[in-house]
Structure 1
């Protein structure tokens, strides 16, 4: 597929194309100068590249080469069959291969929700390709294991177990998706944006592929049991500069998941948003954008903003 032009706003023209990486065809949009520092924006469930509509313009205008892919299985990207195709290892390799296919050795990686889980895995397994890391409402794997057994987190994670059922989750995905995309800001999602999401969910094979991310989490893999995002045992420390942005009114994840990360991520900076939901980049786009612009710049130091953790 040749590059195509897509206008997000009157003053922002996106380049739209598809690349085959790690054996899978990924659709992506790109903005900003092609010789600028590469920033990858990785969306989560149940979104696609348009999750970052509020961030693409500001980052591109600041001189970054901003690339927002549809992760495998989503929207216009390829949808490989089978649960094993959606294990974290494969997803992380997609991103590493995409960085190389774009002509870069390293990238500044920003991930939300499942995109954040993939970004954590990338920084743990292939830190040499991550220049800076930003995580939005996605738990570090060790932090999640720490709280996963708490009843309060079980209650918030109910949908993960529901998604293990055959066919029914696919049938109910449109209703679940509309329920899930609820920000604390009434302008978080417009009706036109919600319509575009419904179109993406309705693409052939998309519902099963999206839900297979969760099935792969709990599906045994031979004698090793369910796949952990970074394997068994204590993960190695992440030593790339890392910023965590956390909306504390998240209905799926406990706020404490953003605490105590220094144990696994030395020097991590954590900024909490008390009034924001899981969709923090939609609820508070101006503040999120300002933090991204400062942290992703070459001039940002490790203590560019004080941590809000006690």
Structure 2
């Protein structure tokens, strides 16, 4: 683990793979951290890639600002750019899941010169998701949990009764759920993650337009949050080589439930294997 100082914060970055390999920036989601990519990393390293798994703000102990506004989606995007700068990387392949995919989409849209390729997992292009939210009541219903996560009682509900709700959320990944439940008991950790939801403002997505870097979007048909319309309409927002990869029978937690299949998709995008 390397501590990277950027934007007045200290981020934990977990490096691996050949020192001279093509760089891959890995961006996790909620309620996970860099460890959600652990099962994926061996394949990436064998392929000769250098990986940088970033614990984003709210997860790195030295990067947990107190104000909710400090977790607007524009902030972790700026963090990613600053971390690349601190690592001495002009650009990197980007692989993100959940909120990490959201950061990846914005990074590719606003700073395409920093993104060699994008592999976005589970969360589609923001504009495709906004469209689906407008026209599909089922998509709006799938996002009902966001109201709970934004509420002032979310911490108590998620960790109460032995963290039964948080454990239920992560049930598809089996024993690995315990890693994140224990991490979320650390002071401020859960609040930092929930503040991403509390700070979210759709207006921050206005600058996110067409993606011009080679992109793969991975969607799983048992994802409880993202329905088919948003997945299919993501194609409308990429003007570069693009592939939609659909995993059958897999839930939202793709990196841990289907690491081999995700490695195939990511390597297909990054190195054409």
TM-score by length of 2: 0.92
CA distances 1:194-250 after superposition (whole Å, capped 9, x unpaired): 222122101111111111100111xxxxxxxx3434326xx4311100001111101
- Is residue 268 of structure 1 aligned with residue 242 of structure 2? yes
- Is residue 23 of structure 1 aligned with residue 25 of structure 2? no
SS at match of 2:5: strand
- Aligned partner of 2:224 in structure 1 is 251
Deviation at 1:75, TM superposition (A): 5.2
CA distances 1:268-296 after superposition (whole Å, capped 9, x unpaired): 21010121111122222212112222321
- Is residue 216 of structure 1 aligned with residue 199 of structure 2? yes
- Aligned pair count reads 267
> Which segment is superposed worse, 208-217 or 288-297?
288-297
- Kept in 1: contact 2:124–2:217 (CA 8 A): no
- Aligned partner of 1:277 in structure 2 is 251
Distance 1:103 1:26 in 2: 15
Q: Counterparts of 1:44-193 in structure 2 under 5 Å?
A: 44-74=29-59, 76-149=61-134, 150-166=136-152, 168-174=153-159, 175=163, 176-183=165-172, 188-190=173-175, 193=176
- Kept in 2: contact 1:124–1:230 (CA 8 A): no
SS at match of 1:74: coil
Structure 2, unpaired ranges of 5+:
none
Query: Structure 1 residues 213 and 287, CA, compared in 2 at 3 Å: closer, same or farther?
Result: same
User: 2:270 aligned to 272, 279, 296, which one?
Assistant: 296
Distance 1:243 1:228 in 2: 25
Structure 1, unpaired ranges of 5+:
1-15, 218-225, 305-310
Give the superposed CA RMSD. Answer: 1.6
- Kept in 2: contact 1:246–1:272 (CA 8 A): yes
- Is residue 230 of structure 1 aligned with residue 205 of structure 2? yes
Larger radius of gyration: 1
- Aligned partner of 1:6 in structure 2 is none
Higher share in helix: 2
Structure 1 ranges of 4+ moved more than 6 A: none
